[in-house]
Amino acid sequence: MTFHDLQLIDPILRALKDKNYHEPTEIQAKAIPQVLDQRDVLGCAQTGTGKTAAFAIPIIQRIHEMSDGQYRHDDIQALIVTPTRELAIQIDENIREYSKYTDLKHAVIFGGVKQGRQVEQLQRGVHILTATPGRLLDLVEQRYIDLSRIKVLVLDEADRMLDMGFINDIRKILRLVPKERQSLFFSATMPDNIKQLSQTILRNPIRVEVTPVSSTAETVDQRVYYTNRSDKNALLLHILQNRDMDQVLLFSRTKHGADRIVRNLKKKNISAQAIHGDKAQNQRQKALSQFKDGRVRVLVATDIAARGIDIQKLEYVINYDIPNVPETYVHRIGRSGRAGEAGIAISICEPEENVHMRDVEKLIKQKVQVINDHPYPQTEKPMTAAEKKEWNKEKQRRKQEFFAKRKASGGGRGRRGR
């Protein structure tokens, strides 16, 4: 199948040609005709499947056709809501590329930066707006944005949006958009709460599904190293002795963990940068572009910050810890082996995480290959319930002590997302 078969208009076909897209991905082939047909769509797809173009292209086409290419008014016609700034920026970049041979106006708004420029852009008129929920509601409240004439609403990465606690924001947004509209709802996973949410938004949707989350990107070669907690850093350095690993996305559960890993790598002259919620937007963008052009070998990211990172041909993903939510593991390894490329996902598992690894294997319905040939084998046992309780208490105590000390010295910053 080609993009011509999808009855796309010439300005879009030319833009796709410039991008060197030869044929639609599975989700694009399935979703584009339905969106053009003005149907509501429930899309089950991960990042990396081409889902952004699957909704962006037909939206551009619909708006172009509705306005007859004239764009006589500047109302927001389509609203795309997505959980993270990185994802919002990338979606808007895609829209810019796909719509470059039209006169359509688009903009992106997200928090963490001053609103001035975003407001100026809104005042010049916008047809497709991509937004994170908080800044969107903020600017609606200040009356810079009017959502009352939206024709298409897209909720992207809905599962992540709920994980990040955006449910009330989503409900508020739903009250601001017209009831008569087309809605597109995308999520990598479809647990019950997501299904329920989708039912309140969609009308008689077509369900479009590619690679269900539990089946894992089949091109990803998965390996696990079992080790002790205290040996993780040494094991990581051992793994990175493989010089083929010149571009590695490494996941850390916490922001502090991410910073610590970067420090440890830099001590050994391995170029590394962290991206997480405590980093300013320009720092994140800089780290990402240095990683993309090969100046940074290891990009250390928390799960939320990593959402929407778009790096083609990313071969290696390392899990420095095993997530307690197995779907998160699947999201992480989905960052390698994109668009049919081979990928390798390496997990480092400490005794406490053995149980999480078992949950992962249950979800993906396969055993992950165990690498035993390494100098730091797991010799310790997971803690018993009583030991864990004691350990958590101790951790809590240390944390309180740390913050008390920091407060006493007048230091510290506000807490933001991961």
Nearest distance, CB of residue 72 and ligand AMP, angstroms: 31
Residues that bind ligand AMP (CB under 6 A): 21, 24-25, 28, 47-53, 310, 312, 339
> 248 and 383 in contact (C-beta within 8 Å)?
no
Q: How far apart are CA 216 and CA 333, in angstroms?
A: 8
CB atoms within 10 A of CB 397: 10
Q: Which is nearer to ligand AMP, 50 or 337 (CB)?
A: 50
β-bridge mates for residue 347, sequence order = 224, 319
Dihedral of the alpha carbons of 257, 417, 154, 363, in degrees to the nearest 10:
40
Residue nearest to ligand AMP (CB): 52
Q: Which is nearer to ligand AMP, 106 or 255 (CB)?
A: 106
Q: Which is nearer to ligand AMP, 106 or 356 (CB)?
A: 106
Q: Which is nearer to ligand AMP, 97 or 221 (CB)?
A: 97
Q: Which is nearer to ligand AMP, 23 or 141 (CB)?
A: 23
Nearest distance, CB of residue 98 and ligand AMP, angstroms: 10
Q: Is 394 exposed, middle or buried (0-12, 13-18, 19+ CB in 10 A)?
A: exposed
Nearest distance, CB of residue 88 and ligand AMP, angstroms: 13
Nearest distance, CB of residue 263 and ligand AMP, angstroms: 31
Nearest distance, CB of residue 109 and ligand AMP, angstroms: 20
Nearest distance, CB of residue 418 and ligand AMP, angstroms: 21
Selection from 225, 223, 221 nearest residue 349 by Cα:
225
Q: Which is nearer to ligand AMP, 241 or 312 (CB)?
A: 312
Q: How far apart are CA 323 and CA 303, in angstroms?
A: 10
Q: Which is nearer to ligand AMP, 48 or 111 (CB)?
A: 48
Nearest distance, CB of residue 321 and ligand AMP, angstroms: 25
CA angle 182, 60, 286 (to 5 degrees): 110
Structure tokens at 209: 């599904």
Q: How far apart are CA 17 and CA 3, in angstroms?
A: 10
CA angle 336, 339, 344 (to 5 degrees): 25
